[in-house]
Structure 1
Amino acid sequence: MNRFLHLISGLLLLSVSMMYAQTTGKIAGFVFDERTSEPLPGANIYLDGTSLGAASGLDGSFYIINVSPGKYNVVVEMVGYEKKIIKDVRVSVNRTTNLKITLKEAILEGEVIVVEADKMSIKKDQTSAVRTVSADQMEALPVENLNAVVGLQAGVVRGHFRGGRSNEVSYMIDGLQVNDAFGGEGRRVDVETESVQDVEIITGTFNAEYGRAMSGVVNAIIKDGTDDFHFSYTNYLANYVTNHDDIFIGLKESEITRNQDYKLQLSGPILKRKLHYFTNLRYQDNKNHLNGIRRFRVNDFSDFTSTNPEEWYSEHTGDNAYVPMNSSKTLSLLGKISYKMTDQIKLSLLYTGNRDEWKSYDHAFKYNPDGQASHHRQSDMFALLLNQAFSNSAFYELKLSSLDSYYGFYLFKDPTDSGYVYDAFLANINETGFYTGGQMKDHTENWQKETNIKFDFTWQATSHHSLKTGFLYTLYDLKNKWTPVRPDTTMSEEELGLFYYDETGHRVYYNYKPIVYPSNSVYSDIYHVKPIAFSAYIQDKMEYEDMVINAGIRFDYFDPNTTYPSNWRNPANQLNFYLKDEDGNLILDENGNPLLNPERMSTYPKADIKTQISPRLGLAYQLGKKAVLHFSYGHFFQMPPMYALYQNNSHQIPPSDYSTTLGNPQLKAQKTVQYEVGLWQEVVENMGLEVNLFYRDIYDLLSTKIVSTYNQIEYGLYTNKDYGNARGIELKFDFYRGPLQIFVNYTLQYTRGNADNPEQTFTRAGASMDPIPTLIPMSWDQRHTFNATVGYHKGNVGATLTGYYNSGTPYTWTPIVLNPVSRVNLFPNNDYMPSSYSVDFFSYYKFKLFKSIQAQIELSIYNLFDRLNPVWVYGSTGQPYTAVIQESDLSNHRSDFNDYEDRIKNPSAYSAPRMVKLGIGFTF
């Protein structure tokens, strides 16, 4: 620990150098005489309505740093010259907006020239593939959340950035990471698009200020309140209008309230020009598109095991009502108070929270939907943000944040709840293909607390050098509790099986009582850990007339803060081995007790601290006046998800092979080395084309190796030995012309690796299958991805169409036993699913109700053409909803309420059908 404190002290001293704030941008450029093209020193440049400004230097250059994202009017004044106003200059997070301003000598005193800013500015400082989507752009898209905005970008395929696993992306809010530390998938806190001023999406290499990610970064910048009071409320109702009601059962076109969505936003001043607030609330109650039928209740008992139908017994007391099986209820609340203490100091307090409950469709519970468990999430994030400018060329940001989140998957929160029924009701899955009673008994809860201290400092040392440095300290407090609901196994099966019939005619097993097993049981996984993470970096952004260079280096530190077994062949010392002499006799201690053999017993040393050094380099070179060539290279490290370090923390090994996997605190960081080269060209005015080529090597990926205990029980242990690579090309096309906007992107990508997921090697070994000796396509290896958006927005009317085309992703074709090919050891992901396409539509019409109140009607149609797009397919056919049915399958099916085809007609194999969503809102 002392070494760590000394390390922090040293890095804090280093941090006096400076860093970029990650939540602001910069305006820079030159001022020239329009007639002579000579530079004009001493011109005043300022942002209208703010205290930000600068004066041009001897060479006419200027810069304004620490500018919040948004649109500004840039005012330029100089004695003897006409005043000039450049309207709607857009500033994006972490970017430099470059202006070349010409002033004309004044003929008439007081004359003002107003010009529009170029919508297609030269991206001369873009050294990698970055896309910034502004608030007004998101408002015009047919999207429901930030995930949909991210999914529209080139290089993003079903949540995977440039071929990486889905947990290799860093999600941030105002520069603070909010990833799910346990599973690594997605984020613990969600914000709505209506709360976001800018979202920065980096799919390529990224600068040294970003870390703890290998594939990409998503950074959402939250809006501030303004001096203008703003209130808006919108109520949305939605339903599915589809011709495929034979697949999506129970949908009624008259049920206009099937999905409900309510949005409320309030912002304005508390003290004008000083203290402002911004709040956003969204509540959704969605039944969604997948229904089950309540034929059975959880305590119905049925028995179809006999081959004689006359001996079948079935209780089915359900009301046969349609029950939503992928429903969701979500509440999102965000509040931000911003206080401008002085022209140099700004203080903000941010809160964002979520309360969510949702279900994931399980076809086996189609006729017993009440037995399906739900997911639960509760998260609260508080952040205190301090921004202080020392001068026009230096400022810092200090961020203190706390993230407290909870996730649960269960039917009842209390695992000993009397609502749980005996396991005997969960039956007949083999005979009918469905559960005719019973419940999901998995019970998972985890709690995640994060405390973050983040310091960022930027110094514009000269007009050419922006030096940056910063550090981030994170203290985790993680609790996990997996306790499947089980009966008291101290009783015999005969005792547990005793029952009587209650007044409703249902069986009651009077000896059944759900219990929770202790943390040292193979039937639980309970632990509490407090790992520590620290990172720091330094970077120089060198901006010249024709070239921009980003060079930096990053340091990461991670302390698992736990112990590990020194002997993985006997990790919990469940086996005792004693020392013997050369004659085979036990060696005794002074008290006559046999001595344990230390070579075969585990001790528990502290896990090693992991550190990494990551160099980053990016270069952009301007070709002529309308083109930029860029190149970037970097090393990117990310620790595996926390579950892989701490899972099965008691180290207990069950008595059967391949029945558990242990976490490994000795895991090291996963590593990506990425190269990228790209060209951006303004083809004609307001029309841009960008081409990016990339290649990625991915080392030390999370994997699982097989360990054999001394009594020959084989189990899995997480380790770093998987490898993958990805390569591809991205094409982006942007066009603006008055009210017309067109965005098109295409991604060609190849992704290979030796394992599709960390458990694949372990799973194959458990199924007596050989290891994979070569690189195979990953399950997200989507060859072609094409997105196109066309929008027309003028005045109070607007409409947008977005189309998606996705070529198929891999699946494992598995021939039936009668096929001779079935005897060949086929590799996974050996074929591709059918391609898919869909079109989404969004439109609005605004009109005034009263003097200060404006109404808006919105219409969104998702999957406009009601396409049946496959999500997954059966291995025997490569098609959804269709499998090869053999005579033996039909003969083994025993049921009095369905046929065999009912098993394979799973509606979740298709994406959602056409949904029509209508919104009516008011704004003032």
Structure 2
Amino acid sequence: MRSLLFILTALLFSSGYMFSQTTGKIAGKIVEKNTSEALLGANVSIVGTTMGSAANLDGEYFIINVPPGQYDLKVSMIGYAPLIFKNVNVSVNRTTTINAELEAEDVALSEVVVTVKAISDKKDQTSSIKNVSGEDIKTLPVESVGDVIGLQAGVVQGHFRGGRSTEVSYLVDGVSVTDGYSRENYKVEIETEAVQDMEVITGTFNAEYGRAMSGIVNIVTKEGSEKFRGSASGSLSNYFTTHNDIFLGLEAGDAARNQDYKFQLEGPLYKNYITFFTNFRYQDNDGHLNGIRRFNVNDYTDFSHADINDGVKTQWDAVINGDTYYSEHTGDNSYVPMNWSKDYSVLGKLTFRPLAVFKFSLMYTKNYNEMQNYEHYYKYKPDGRRVYYDKSDFYLFQLNNVLSDNMFHDIKVSYKHSLTDNYLYKDPFDQRYAADNYGKSGGGFSTGGHDKGYNAVELNDLNIKYDITWQLNTHHSLKTGFDYTRHDLTKTTVIVRDIKYGTAAQEDFYYDPTTGKIVFNPYEPEILSEAVSSDNYNKKPYELSAYFQDKMEYEDLVINFGARYDYFNSNTVYPTQLRNPGNQLSYPENPERMSEYPKAKARAQFSPRFGLSYTLGSAAVLHFSYGHFFQMPPLYALYQNSRFLVPSGNFETIIGNPNLKPEKTVQYEMGFWQELQEGLGFEVSVFYRDIYDLLTAAVITTYNQVKYGYYGNKDYGNSKGMEMKLDYAFDPFTVFVNYTLQYTRGIADNPSSTYTRAGQNMDEISKLIPLAWDQRHTLNVSMNYEKENYGLNLTGTFNSGIAYTYKPVSESPLSKQTLFPNNQHRPAAFDISFKGHYDVGLVDNVKMRFFLSVYNLLDRLNEVSVNETTGRAYTAILTQSQISTFKSNFNDVYDASHDPSMYSAPRSIKLGVGIVF
């Protein structure tokens, strides 16, 4: 650690512009128009900046380290008319080719202006990459960066090209913000208004990217401008649906059911040397799923009670009246939001440019979210459920330094703190908790009680990253660097129960005739700190990576070649005897049956990457790529149940394995891009992926014949498919269409699948089956019409439905057959959303903006989950036994299967107004 800090300090003070993974390049050739002779010394500059270059002996030039955005490019030379290229788009990690033909001044005395075509060629693209600019995002009917990612080819519900959702790496300004604990999501939420450019890679990716097997999402944030600009807006939304029998409580039409407020400001603090950018958003959403407060938390029910039980137990209220149940329901029957959320995010960025070749920035982001998900079991008792909190703070220092016209390097230091916890009352001794005895159910639903306990995961990541890029000549761009991350992971689980648990005092009660309620002894909690299921630990793993890559660019050929080295140390111990991992069994005369606890092995791997693209004619490109990709499993799989304790019952725990190996993917891809006509581009890619050493939980049997799970590397999967993309841009219209055909197969959906099947006495899966996110057809279409003071967008999505497991009822003959998981597919889903805005000029550059968004325009009931007996939402096939034994005085036997969360949200209309200046 000290040596790394020393290196960082030395680099900081010896730096002579950079931001690796956050900049692009402009390159091309300048010739005389009539003779096609190279113009040595022709000057190329980006208007309004100090960036530029001069043509070499062959007329070739390049400008490296260009931040993503849209620029005007000026080409000039004494004796020739200047040439201005308007609207030159630069994307992160891409080369924008601008070739120029200059005319002698006696032919054209004034400067010539050329508007660059909106559809850029893919000459340097060796795999499937989609660059989405902030301007593109602004037009889409989306609420988050995640919505934008979901519209890209090859992406199905967070799964990239058939991989598990844990196989994607998310970066902000080139620095990883992936949740290392679960690897399911990202911990730094960047609002769409703060995005300058976003790179989504579903194909093979270069050696500079690691810790991922399926895809990369790299978000480049905006910097402050040299002029003051900003905006402020507020919007309200509600649901307007014809399905009020499913989505209860939405008839009232409360316009403020969902609220959204945004503010953004940027500009100079000191001329153009110091600029700032700030972004703020606050949301308060009640959601679209309501419960009905029939029961309160201290209501008591007993639907298994008989009026006289063998002549011993009388009715709870001491009245023998023939009732076969006892039910208190003191709720007010009001509608209660059950999938609500409150969020806010803050981003601030300072950029310093003391010299033309020296830039550094400081950025801070804060995200806060609290929410509850809808749980159908609590429909009639929506109170007393735990709330889920997600908080993060992210600090990033970036230094960019141009060492020469053809070399720059980057230093980045980041610190990320995240805390994910859930609880109803954080203090386990809170007096508001009700006695455990109230936690009953009836009619298939909860009728009382509280959700107790506390769980928290806190993760602090320190990252140091260095990259250097050397444009050796017009053909070779060399890049190398290293990345060091130190994790500090703390897991806290608080398990509480009544101190009277298991005693007669816990069951003591009396009937209060004044309230008509059963009253139990007060709840007296105790913390079970030594319980087997109480998982508390602090671990500090670290990882290091280094890479080298060469991007070779020739007139008709581009080759990307690189290699990456990754090292991971779990920095903890492991048990040597898995049949007695926690030494709960004593064998003094058989020491080989006792565990020792040596340090776990460090893991390292080397991964080559290769890609090439070949230009066919003037507007067609063929590409091929191949690569090996490794990543460590999520941190929870290394440290879960870190005391290695096995409960007394079978299949009650899974123990983490600090010796886990990296998971591995080998991917091949071939693609073709063609400019069909000006402004219209078509691309098709085919791919195949083998996925090895996937995380799985094996079943281990202890010496006293208790079975538990132990994480290891065993599962295999593969995916193959085709992606087609069509992009059209002809002012004022832009259209994109993408289609994905995909087949995803594997042994198991998730790491615990094999372990769960064993616990249910089911055979192990011995063949490749469709995985839960196997979706054959996916289509996304977006059409945009943008004029100076108004804009309209219509975006539609279609999918053929992901896999699910059909399970016939026990009375069906099919129940006797062995059916593998994911043997059917859900119904197809289709959605159209609309977005529009209209601007009214006020004074100077100030305008008022009115905007309207409509999500699920057609109010379709798209089924996002289905009943396993019918394959449809909101339905079920019940056995005669289930029907005859059902007992309730407030609902029917089918109510439990009428879960509205099985459908996507109904039509939502969002109306807002704002100021733009």
TM-score class normalised by the smaller sequence: over 0.9
| Match among 562, 569, 579 for residue 572 of structure 2 | 562
**Aligned AA (2:166):** N
How far 1:517 moved relative to its partner?
1.9
- On the 8 A contact 1:20/1:469 being kept in 2, the answer is no
**Aligned AA (2:421):** G
Instruction: Determine the structure 1 residue equivalent to 2:480.
Output: 469
Query: In structure 2, the residue corresponding to 1:813 is in which secondary structure?
Result: coil
| Match among 457, 462, 466 for residue 468 of structure 2 | 457
Instruction: Summarize deviations over 1:468-525 as a string: whole Å, max 9, x none.
Output: 0011100000000122332236x5331222345688665554353222222x421310
Distance 1:316 1:37 in 2: 89
2:548 is the counterpart of 1:538: yes
Distance 1:510 1:388 in 2: 70
Instruction: Determine the structure 1 residue equivalent to 2:323.
Output: 310
Distance 2:800 2:496 in 1: 42
- On the 8 A contact 1:20/1:209 being kept in 2, the answer is no
Distance 1:44 1:501 in 2: 93
Instruction: Determine the structure 2 residue equivalent to 1:698.
Output: 691
**Aligned AA (2:438):** F
**CA separation of 1:19 and 1:631: change in aligned 2, threshold 3 A:** farther
How far 1:849 moved relative to its partner?
2.1
More displaced 10-residue stretch of structure 1: 687-696 or 296-305: 296-305
How far 1:111 moved relative to its partner?
1.6
How far 1:281 moved relative to its partner?
0.3
Distance 1:525 1:420 in 2: 23
**Aligned AA (1:162):** R
Q: Give the 5 Å matches for 1:740-889.
A: 740-889=733-882
**Aligned AA (2:222):** K
Distance 2:287 2:250 in 1: 9
- On the 8 A contact 2:18/2:399 being kept in 1, the answer is no
**Structure 1 gap ranges (5+):** 580-596
Distance 1:283 1:306 in 2: 49
Instruction: Determine the structure 2 residue equivalent to 1:593.
Output: none
Instruction: Summarize deviations over 1:614-656 as a string: whole Å, max 9, x none.
Output: 1000101101110010000000001101110000111111100
Instruction: Summarize deviations over 1:279-329 as a string: whole Å, max 9, x none.
Output: 000000000100001111111111111366614211111111100000000
How far 1:863 moved relative to its partner?
0.3
Distance 1:555 1:775 in 2: 31
2:228 is the counterpart of 1:229: yes
Distance 1:514 1:409 in 2: 18
Instruction: Determine the structure 2 residue equivalent to 1:674.
Output: 667
Distance 1:24 1:783 in 2: 36
2:412 is the counterpart of 1:399: yes
**Aligned AA (1:692):** S
How far 1:852 moved relative to its partner?
3.4
2:433 is the counterpart of 1:433: no
Distance 1:804 1:83 in 2: 46
Distance 2:352 2:689 in 1: 44
Instruction: Summarize deviations over 1:239-289 as a string: whole Å, max 9, x none.
Output: 000000000000135300000000100111001111000000000000010
Distance 1:509 1:280 in 2: 52
Q: Give the 5 Å matches for 1:225-304.
A: 225-304=224-303
Instruction: Determine the structure 2 residue equivalent to 1:217.
Output: 216
- On the 8 A contact 1:291/1:322 being kept in 2, the answer is yes
Instruction: Determine the structure 2 residue equivalent to 1:52.
Output: 51
Query: In structure 2, the residue corresponding to 1:310 is in which secondary structure?
Result: coil
Distance 1:547 1:598 in 2: 64
- On the 8 A contact 1:365/1:371 being kept in 2, the answer is no
How far 1:761 moved relative to its partner?
0.5
Query: In structure 2, the residue corresponding to 1:238 is in which secondary structure?
Result: strand
Distance 2:214 2:736 in 1: 23
2:911 is the counterpart of 1:912: no
**Aligned AA (1:344):** V
2:339 is the counterpart of 1:326: yes
Query: In structure 2, the residue corresponding to 1:368 is in which secondary structure?
Result: coil
**Aligned AA (1:342):** L
2:524 is the counterpart of 1:513: yes
**Aligned AA (2:483):** L
- On the 8 A contact 1:19/1:467 being kept in 2, the answer is no
2:438 is the counterpart of 1:445: no
State the aligned residue count: 897
Query: In structure 2, the residue corresponding to 1:194 is in which secondary structure?
Result: helix
Instruction: Determine the structure 2 residue equivalent to 1:582.
Output: none
How far 1:417 moved relative to its partner?
2.2
How far 1:74 moved relative to its partner?
0.4
**CA separation of 1:339 and 1:5: change in aligned 2, threshold 3 A:** closer
Distance 1:321 1:602 in 2: 57
How far 1:757 moved relative to its partner?
0.9
Distance 1:903 1:653 in 2: 35
**Aligned AA (1:560):** S
Query: In structure 1, the residue corresponding to 2:627 is in which secondary structure?
Result: strand
- On the 8 A contact 1:280/1:335 being kept in 2, the answer is yes
Instruction: Determine the structure 2 residue equivalent to 1:637.
Output: 630
Instruction: Determine the structure 2 residue equivalent to 1:179.
Output: 178
How far 1:371 moved relative to its partner?
2.0
Distance 2:645 2:795 in 1: 52
Instruction: Summarize deviations over 1:720-746 as a string: whole Å, max 9, x none.
Output: 000000000000000111201110000
2:731 is the counterpart of 1:738: yes
Instruction: Determine the structure 1 residue equivalent to 2:499.
Output: 488
- On the 8 A contact 2:466/2:482 being kept in 1, the answer is yes
Instruction: Determine the structure 2 residue equivalent to 1:525.
Output: 535
More displaced 10-residue stretch of structure 1: 811-820 or 603-612: 811-820
Distance 2:126 2:428 in 1: 53
Distance 2:733 2:893 in 1: 53
**Aligned AA (2:870):** T
**Aligned AA (1:160):** H
Distance 1:775 1:38 in 2: 60
Instruction: Determine the structure 1 residue equivalent to 2:647.
Output: 654
Instruction: Determine the structure 1 residue equivalent to 2:157.
Output: 158
Distance 1:339 1:782 in 2: 47
Q: Give the 5 Å matches for 1:12-161.
A: 21-107=20-106, 111-161=110-160
How far 1:379 moved relative to its partner?
0.4
How far 1:113 moved relative to its partner?
1.1
Instruction: Summarize deviations over 1:437-489 as a string: whole Å, max 9, x none.
Output: 01223521110000000001101011111110011100000000122332236
Instruction: Determine the structure 1 residue equivalent to 2:380.
Output: 367
How far 1:871 moved relative to its partner?
0.7
Query: In structure 2, the residue corresponding to 1:765 is in which secondary structure?
Result: helix
**Aligned AA (1:396):** H
- On the 8 A contact 1:20/1:468 being kept in 2, the answer is no
Distance 2:523 2:259 in 1: 41
Distance 1:303 1:130 in 2: 59
Instruction: Summarize deviations over 1:67-87 as a string: whole Å, max 9, x none.
Output: 000011101110000011111
> What is the TM-score of this pair, normalised by structure 2?
0.96
> What is the TM-score of this pair, normalised by structure 1?
0.95
Instruction: Determine the structure 1 residue equivalent to 2:313.
Output: none
How far 1:58 moved relative to its partner?
0.5
Distance 1:133 1:426 in 2: 50
Instruction: Summarize deviations over 1:172-230 as a string: whole Å, max 9, x none.
Output: 10001011111111111111000000010001100000000000000100000111101
Distance 2:872 2:913 in 1: 40
Instruction: Determine the structure 2 residue equivalent to 1:587.
Output: none
Instruction: Determine the structure 2 residue equivalent to 1:383.
Output: 396
**Aligned AA (1:226):** S
How far 1:110 moved relative to its partner?
6.1
